[in-house]
Amino acid sequence: MSGLFANLTNRTPPGRLQILLTTLGVGAMLITGGIALRNSQDRVAVAAVEGTSTALAPTLTPSTTPTETITPTPSNTPTETPTPTRTPTGTLPPTATPTDTPTPSPSPVPAGTVGLNANGYPTPGTPPATAIPTPAIPIDVPTGVVNILLMGSDKRPDDGGYRTDTLIVVSINKTEGTVNMLSLPRDLFVYIPGWTMARINTADSRGSAVGWPGGGPGLVKETLLYNFGITIHHYARVDFDGFRDIVDILGGVDVPVDCSLTGARLKDTTKRASDFSDYQGWVDYTADENNWIDYTLPVGVHHLDGYSALWYARVREGSSDFDRARRQQQVLRAILTTARNSGVLSVTKAPELWQQYGDLVTTDMGLGNMLQFVPIAADIQPNEIRSFILTPNLLTAWTDPQSGGSVFLPNPGSVEDLVSIAMEPPAQNYVVNNSVTVEVRNGTGTDRLDEVAADRLGTDGLDAIATGKSAESPNQEKTVIYDYTGRQKTSQAVLMQRVLRVADVDVIAQPDPNRQVDYVVILGNNYQSCRSN
């Protein structure tokens, strides 16, 4: 069966965990590999999960080669009081203290950027399915910013037609210690330089097949530069088997699930490709529908093992690729938080571990590049990581006339604005001046729902912390927001109301110059955590 997952034959050595977590960018590789799964229009089964799950379900591969030429149609004022300084009150797990002697840092590998062909590209041998756009204006790269392209392929043994079904650009401001993450849908229909209009997830395998300068990653870099003006300095590609092992080595991660998800899982979730005498045995096993059962992951905070986290990041039943992109970044944040709290982010161990396990990823970075990001990964706070996703309002849904597949065309003028912002991680003073603190209390009967809501607010850029059950309102009818700032309605307050679905009448102004937080949210029984992007 052609659409089955690959790279399942080798387990990840435990020691490589630390080297992968020495940078936020490498942490992002984990989720990139985790959701590197093939698109399926005629899906046999979608993998689902429970606490001990370790296997994934198969998918089928649609054909996407364009041949016809069709042009799409895109279609009373309280007194303001000062903001307090927030003091953490929680207790983190004990952090391991390294005892080994630091090794001098090697020089970083120079950035491997690409340029466009000044003489243009040859006309496609077959007319493209839609008109080829003109090259985008390159986006200026601020001083100190490094853009890392993270890819996850679905390559199977002896398969030259693999797809890069996950693309995340992690933009790291080394000077300011801030990070932006931009997820690009795999079904973006763009110009692949030197080839034709096609899905963006075909660029890697195409570049590898034709010997493009820099190979597959070189062509992906050029594709991003041509279509979006994004300069990529480095790339990394990983598989999802390592992702699962790494999460398991961490002891799992706590993920607040805001939308119930349903899918199928293998009856024997311990099975892996390495358990079979050859790969075909694994193919046959996963193709048998009798080996699958249904599973539902309900709303709440769940401690997920590696497979569980992988499934949560990629399941599409009743969902969309855009929501999947949000969940991918959510799991990445959970991995980073767990790694930081457990003390595995250590510069002192990185050189030794790099030598032992550096072959985990295919990358044009070296140890010196990784060591630059250790302080950022160890110290970064949730509100210093901003998430960006190309959502449907920025794209035009279209059908490729050749394959009949559903794709998305970037809307000129809309995509460029978002991409430009995403490629410029903010300065620390901007983060501080535009941050508000939010305490979320649970006034419902659903256990840990405050954590679910706080995570959702955090994903939208608010500095939110869950504080457990509301002692004064244990059975709150409606969600209420208490505003202690004394300001006119801020953009952050509007955002909170939208995310939590709170009416103006349920926002209560109580200016307090001695406040510990800017806002307090008490969740009511009317709170619906699940919403679309």
Instruction: Tell whether the model's pLDDT for residue 22 goes beyond 50.
Output: no
Domain boundary among 408, 429, 450: 429
User: For position 225, what pLDDT does the model report?
Assistant: 98
Model pTM greater than 0.85?
Answer: no
Inter-axis angle of helices 24-34 and 306-314, to 10 degrees?
80
The verdict on residue 405 lying in a domain is: yes
Query: By percentage, how much of the chain surpasses pLDDT 70?
Result: 74
Domain boundary among 402, 429, 456: 429
Q: Which has the minimum average pLDDT: 176-190, 218-232, 270-284?
A: 270-284
Say how many domains are in the chain: 2
**String of DSSP letters for 407-442:** EEEE-TTHHHHHHHHHTSPPPHHHHHHT--EEEEEE
CB 463, CB 457: distance < 8 Å:
no
Tens digit of each residue's pLDDT (9 = 90 or more) over 26-62: 444 333 333 332 222 223 223 322 333 333 333 333 3
Is 443 found in the same domain as 320?
no
Is 117 found in the same domain as 266?
yes
Is 501 found in the same domain as 375?
no
The verdict on residue 7 lying in a domain is: no
CATH of the domain at 298: 3.40.630.190
Is 441 found in the same domain as 414?
no
Is 166 found in the same domain as 25?
yes
The verdict on residue 6 lying in a domain is: no
Average pLDDT over residues 4-11: 30
Tens digit of each residue's pLDDT (9 = 90 or more) over 89-126: 333 334 444 444 444 447 888 888 999 998 899 999 89
**String of DSSP letters for 202-236:** GHHHHHHHHT-TTHHHHHHHHHHHHHH-----EEE
CATH of the domain at 516: 3.30.70.2390
Is 155 found in the same domain as 269?
yes
The whole domain housing 58 covers 16-62+113-429
Is 397 found in the same domain as 264?
yes
User: For position 418, what pLDDT does the model report?
Assistant: 93
pLDDT bucket at 358, cuts 50 / 70 / 90: low
Tens digit of each residue's pLDDT (9 = 90 or more) over 371-405: 788 778 778 877 788 889 998 999 999 999 988 99
Is 257 found in the same domain as 170?
yes
Tens digit of each residue's pLDDT (9 = 90 or more) over 152-189: 776 666 666 678 877 899 999 998 888 999 999 989 99
Secondary structure (3-state) at 334? helix
Is 516 found in the same domain as 385?
no
